[in-house]
Structure 1
Amino acid sequence: MKWQSLVDNRQRFFWVLQIAGWLGYALVNYIGSKVFEMRDIYVFVIALNAYAGCLMTVPLRYLYRKIWNASPVVLILVVFTASYLTGTLWAVVQKFNHWEIYRHGYRPDEWFYYLQQGLDSVYIVLCWSGLYFGIKYYQLLQSERQKALKANTMAHEAQLKMLRYQLNPHFLFNTLNAISTLILVEENKDANQMVSRLSDFLRHTLNTDPIKKVPLEQELHALTLYLEIEKVRFDERLSIELDVTEEAEQALVPSLILQPLIENSIKYAIAHIEHGGKIEIKAQVFANELLLEVGDNGPGAELEDGQLKSAQGVGLANTKDRLKTLYENNYSFVLSNNEPSGLKVNIRVPYERAKK
């Protein structure tokens, strides 16, 4: 944003406000001259006075920057003294411009005119000083706020990366164990096939930023790579059913959000079924929300208030933590018993459509 860029550039921002402020002062005085029907030459006097005020207040900026970290008492004393001296000097310049140019050498007889003009100028310079400190403090607060937001964002990113990368070693450990078993029983063809598919899956995950969200269609592709590895282990014992709408395929989801759920189903459900293990994956968009469901036909688990009564592995816990980090309270993660048997995981997140 151009305005934000201007505010961030303090040097440029000061000069914009300085010039605009004194132009505004000149404009107000010009309007006043029209009300009191001053001669046209008075416009020149107004311009000279505003120009003088603009020049004389610039040194105050550098003075205030030098005493910025001084104690409040010193700060107040310096501000009032500098404003009084600058205002008085500016009043002298204004008197000279008014009497020599507009009044052709006129001098008032009463001292009251001198004092009144001087006090008015001091008040204006004091207002200038107050605005300077107010804007300066505002800029500092904005700067601290941006630093805090940046630090918070970096902390969230670090947490998300930790949670995402914690899953990869866990999955890798299980896969390498399976490959080792295949080699021990001399099923070298299956072991080679599993290594090749593991390589494809890891290449895909390493090329995916764990912070960015990806279209569900891309997430399902990564899931297919993972399931091809598991099918080498389970062969016909593992079957997958997909029910995903076209609209849901374009929804943005955290990368590899489904893989740990599938891994959990395989570990605690499919691995314990001798015949016909099945995993169902459903996705649809409803009321501007993406609804994801992963269910299996395993033995199920003991639940309490939609959560596991006893923790099983890191997959479910990490998935929930990632959702909380990304969506705060605007999500749901609920477990329920599947019918006629098994466990079902339901996830609800805001619907965000991927850009084409």
Structure 2
Amino acid sequence: MNWQQLVDNRQRFFWVLQIAGWIGYALVNYIGSKVFEMRDIYVFVILLNAYAGCLMTVPLRYLYRRVWNAKPWLLVLVVFTASYATGTLWSVVQKFNLWEIYRHGYRPDEWFYYFQQGLDAVYIILCWSGLYFGIKYYQLLQGERQKALKANTMAHEAQLKMLRYQLNPHFLFNTLNAISTLILVEENKDANKMVSRLSDFLRYTLNTDPIKKVPLEQEIHALSLYLEIERVRFDDRLAVDMQVSDEASHALVPSLILQPLIENSLKYAIAQMTQGGVISIKAQVFANELLLEVSDNGPGAELKDGQLVNATGVGVANTKDRLKTLYENNYSFVLSGNTPTGLTVNIRIPYEKAVAE
């Protein structure tokens, strides 16, 4: 087992550090006893004290885990109170070991000796608490770093999949074929617009960093380019209804998070309807969360427990993977039937407002 595996296993890592730390404490005290030329029986007292300290600090771990997310002032209060109580109790055990085992019932006359040893024990427990929180925060930082690396990798994979599957040769073929048709019928102005839109959309997909989030209004602009390209193929059969609130338009979203869902609606809804259909895109902010909805009035799809049955595409799966990587469990992705027909995709993610440049 390497060091990283040991750090990742928090239970084992705690016990390794706990035992090693108290062994180190015992060694330091043993070296000090040699300096003061104490009797060999004092080594036994040192071991008992270290063992008692090891056992008494274990409950602190579970206490600190329970108050980990508490307010800072409450957390500090709990740490100092628990450290003082544990240190005081430990000092009583140390006095018992020292006076009953090493000094055979000796009691000092001065109260200062009681107080001093008690404070020493409290300081050591406070140091233990400080090390615990320091190592805990280090583990959290390492965890966040690993999540960022994983998100980086999956985002690049999602971008590659998008270029390979979502912007597939069929899309480019259909677009170029539509441009060719416009040129043949001498609709050069419309053909030039199509080339410009295709160029802008492809440039956006290549230049947008898949790791960073972008304002929703920027995504809506890219979707508009994509839909304008597809509208040449579907003509009047494709209608789009966009309802995006002003607050939602400034929210940060993963780049190209809605494009695969729009493509699914085009492929499985609009393309299947002779009279055409409507794709609806809605976005609003509610309770500090961004709510996104993509729906169509097509023939719909078979659902089971909110999942597509016999799904063969990659759009829905890629979208869910990206959301899972970026937001862990702080998101929702729900598929449901539309009324009266069609499919609706609802996405809920934390609301993050874009900072104006």
TM above 0.5, one fold? yes
Contact 1:292 1:346 (8 Å CA) reproduced? yes
- Counterpart in the other structure of 1:82: 31
- Counterpart in the other structure of 2:354: 354
Contact 2:175 2:230 (8 Å CA) reproduced? no
- Counterpart in the other structure of 1:337: 337
Q: How far 1:345 moved relative to its partner?
A: 1.5
Q: Distance in 2 between matches of 1:132 and 1:288?
A: 40
Q: How far 1:82 moved relative to its partner?
A: 3.0
Amino acid at match of 2:281: I
> SS at 2:281's partner residue?
strand
Q: Distance in 2 between matches of 1:241 and 1:274?
A: 19
Q: Structure 1 residues 184, 215: closer, same or farther in 2, change over 3 A?
A: closer
> Map of 1:72-221 to 2, 5 A cutoff?
78-84=27-33, 142-173=137-168, 174-179=170-175, 181-182=177-178, 187=183, 189=188, 193-221=193-221
> SS at 2:174's partner residue?
helix
Contact 1:238 1:270 (8 Å CA) reproduced? yes
Q: Distance in 1 between matches of 2:318 and 2:214?
A: 18
- Counterpart in the other structure of 1:320: 320
Q: Structure 1 residues 201, 126: closer, same or farther in 2, change over 3 A?
A: same
- Counterpart in the other structure of 1:300: 300
Q: Structure 1 residues 73, 184: closer, same or farther in 2, change over 3 A?
A: closer
Contact 2:294 2:346 (8 Å CA) reproduced? yes
Q: Distance in 1 between matches of 2:344 and 2:316?
A: 12
> Map of 1:51-62 to 2, 5 A cutoff?
none
Contact 1:270 1:278 (8 Å CA) reproduced? yes
Q: Deviations over 1:293-341 (max 9, x none)?
A: 1111222111222221221411111112222222222322222222332
Note the aligned Cα RMSD (angstroms). 3.9
Contact 1:289 1:349 (8 Å CA) reproduced? yes
Structure 2 spans left out of the alignment, 5+ residues: 1-16, 38-107, 109-114
Q: Distance in 2 between matches of 1:170 and 1:186?
A: 26
Determine what percentage of the aligned residue pairs are the same residue: 53
Q: Structure 1 residues 72, 343: closer, same or farther in 2, change over 3 A?
A: closer
Which stretch shows the higher mean deviation, 136-145 or 322-331? 136-145
Contact 1:293 1:346 (8 Å CA) reproduced? yes
- Counterpart in the other structure of 1:27: none
Larger radius of gyration between Structure 1 and Structure 2: 1
Q: Distance in 1 between matches of 2:201 and 2:133?
A: 50
Q: Deviations over 1:56-82 (max 9, x none)?
A: xxxxxxxxxxxx9xx999957752343
Q: Structure 1 residues 132, 290: closer, same or farther in 2, change over 3 A?
A: closer
Q: Structure 1 residues 86, 142: closer, same or farther in 2, change over 3 A?
A: farther
Contact 2:248 2:284 (8 Å CA) reproduced? yes
Q: How far 1:274 moved relative to its partner?
A: 2.7
Q: Distance in 2 between matches of 1:308 and 1:161?
A: 25
Amino acid at match of 2:147: N
Q: Structure 1 residues 272, 128: closer, same or farther in 2, change over 3 A?
A: closer
Q: Distance in 2 between matches of 1:287 and 1:135?
A: 37
Q: Distance in 2 between matches of 1:83 and 1:132?
A: 19
| Count of aligned pairs between the two proteins | 263
Contact 1:86 1:122 (8 Å CA) reproduced? no
Q: Structure 1 residues 355, 296: closer, same or farther in 2, change over 3 A?
A: same
> SS at 2:330's partner residue?
coil
Q: Structure 1 residues 229, 184: closer, same or farther in 2, change over 3 A?
A: closer
Q: Structure 1 residues 77, 252: closer, same or farther in 2, change over 3 A?
A: closer
